[in-house]
Amino acid sequence: MLRPASLIVISLLVLGGCGKPAPGSLEKTEGHGSSPSASASTSLSTSPSGSPSSPAPRPTAPSAQPKVIGTIASNLAVPWGIAFLPDRSALVTERDSGKVLQVTGTSVREVGQVEEARADNEAGLLGVAVSPSYAEDHLVFFYASTGEDNRVLRTTFQNGRLGALKPILTGIPLGTNHDGGRMVFGPDKMLYVSTGESGRPELAQDRGSLGGKILRITPDGEPAPGNPDASSPIWTWGHRNGQGLAFDADGNLWASEFGQDTYDELNPIQKGHNYGWPTVEGKGDQPGMTNPQVTWSTDEASPSGLAFLDGRLWLGALKGQRLWRVDVAGRRASAEKGFFVGKYGRIRTVVAAPDGNLWVTTSNRDGRGDPAGDDDRILLVRP
């Protein structure tokens, strides 16, 4: 069935230090509070314990500021995940309804529903990923909060409909907050999955728990070959609540992460590294723990989706109500700059589209925003 939506087709011619966290407030959620300010973030150029020794970022040629050039879809119910298919259409998840939509040209069509998903505050139907071998296997993957856990589900998408859902990884800790949920396939064709510590900070350092981790699994849900522990899906640990994953042009993985009260983070992800939570929030310089490359105050970020395009990372900020742009070179990041501050409200998901633009979702109907009449939207942004 066709879902009412506002869609605009735009032709290519038109497109032409922090130490140990303070006690209390461990239940801080994914960014709600006062209006955003335009304060500056902090790039961390010092070499942290366990961090890479990459050269400093090269200067990036000046470019035009990003511009919203259209609306892909509107009147959505908290769009959370977006993944493109080979035909350039996209599968979109709605967190609170559990619906899966296909956005194609001028239509938004419901193609299925993840019945297992249970919406509860930050929990619900979250990430989606498309198999790198989709042309042969037609596989798609979803991250869903159920009544008992968070899990990764696999199904097929053929002839415009989802097939039967099969759980391939279960037992990820569930909470009303800090459920993680972003998924991305790497150049190695393994699936990387961000999880939250479900409001229990101690799980992030517990190697026996899947909470507060980045996981690396095969398309069958098994621990991927080459993981730090061959019997475990855990790739890295010490995360609080990561909702953004993106690979750059060199194959480096980056992750965005919600802080507690002081610093949100952008981290270069490396096999077997410990990213510090809850021992540190932001830069801690602790032995055996890796510092972030960039930190922001929680008022100007509360970061969710992350995308890489044209030598830069693009990050959506919920409480910060802006789109951040960050230059990267190797595993170093710098020159972060925010755009659209307060103009579109809460920004959650950012993905690079096949046409070289960005798709950016608002998240003003998630219970913490001030929705406009046509929210939530997928905006088309020329970088």
Neighbours of 197 (CB within 10 A): 30
Q: For residue 249, with 0-12 CB atoms within 10 Å meaning exposed, 13-18 middle and 19 or more buried, which class applies?
A: exposed
Check: CB of residue 357 under 8 Å from CB of residue 382.
yes
Report the pLDDT value the prediction gives residue 42, as an integer from 0 to 100. Answer: 61
Q: Give, in order, the Cα–Cα distances in Å from 339 to each of 54, 72, 214, 347.
A: 27, 19, 28, 11
Tell whether the torsion through CA atoms of 315, 228, 44 and 278 is positive or negative.
Answer: positive
Q: Choose, from 32, 138, 178, 273, the residue flagged as catalytic.
A: 178
CA 207 to chain centroid:
22
Do the beta carbons of residue 278 and residue 21 sit within 8 Å? Answer: yes
Taking only the tens place, the pLDDT of each residue in 364-380 is 999 999 999 999 999 99
Residue 147 included in any domain: yes
Q: How many domains does the chain have?
A: 1
The pLDDT-based confidence of 30 (bands split at 50, 70, 90) is confident
Kindly state whether residue 374 falls inside one of the protein's structural domains: no
Here the tokens at position 193 are 């999955």
Tell me what pLDDT residue 22 has.
Answer: 41
Q: Is residue 333 part of a domain?
A: no
Q: What is the pLDDT of residues 314-360, one digit of tens each?
A: 999 999 999 999 999 999 999 999 999 999 999 999 999 999 999 99
In this structure, is residue 336 part of a structural domain? Answer: no
Report whether pLDDT(4) > 90. Answer: no
Secondary structure (3-state) at 348:
strand
Residue 129, domain member (yes or no): yes
Q: Rounded mean pLDDT of the chain?
A: 88
CATH of the domain at 125: 2.120.10.30
Least confident of 25-39, 49-63, 147-161, 267-281: 49-63
Q: Answer whether 213's CB lies under 8 Å from 236's CB.
A: yes
pLDDT over 70 for what percent of the chain?
84
Q: What percent of the chain has pLDDT over 90?
A: 83
pLDDT score of 64: 77
149 is written with which tokens? 């856990």
User: Would you say 41 and 294 are in contact if contact means Cβ atoms under 8 Å apart?
Assistant: yes
Nearest Cα residue to 184 out of 352, 47, 53: 352
24 domain-assigned: no
pLDDT bucket at 47, cuts 50 / 70 / 90: very low
User: Mean pLDDT lowest for which of 3-12, 85-94, 207-216?
Assistant: 3-12
CA distance 361 to 369: 13
Phi, psi of 202 (to 5 degrees): -65, -20
Residues 376/63, Cβ–Cβ less than 8 Å = no
Residue 32 bears catalytic tag: no
Domain assignment of residue 151, yes or no: yes
Tell which residue, 263, 298, 268, has the closest CA to residue 278. Answer: 263
Q: What range does the domain containing 175 cover?
A: 79-314
Rounded to an integer, what distance in angstroms lies between the CA atom of residue 341 and that of residue 350?
Answer: 15
The tokens for 141 are 């993957």
Mean pLDDT of 174-193: 98
Predicted pLDDT of residue 31: 73
Banded model confidence at residue 43, pLDDT cuts 50, 70, 90: low
pLDDT at 1 > cutoff 50: no
Q: What is the mean pLDDT of residues 106-122?
A: 95
pLDDT in tens, 193-242: 999 999 999 999 999 999 999 999 999 999 999 999 999 999 999 999 99
Q: Please give the pLDDT value at position 39.
A: 52
What does the buried/exposed string (b/e) look like for 129-165 if buried means 16 or more CB atoms within 10 Å of the residue's CB? Answer: bbbbebeeebbbbbbbbbeebbbbbbbbbeeeebeeb
| Domain-embedded: residue 63 | no
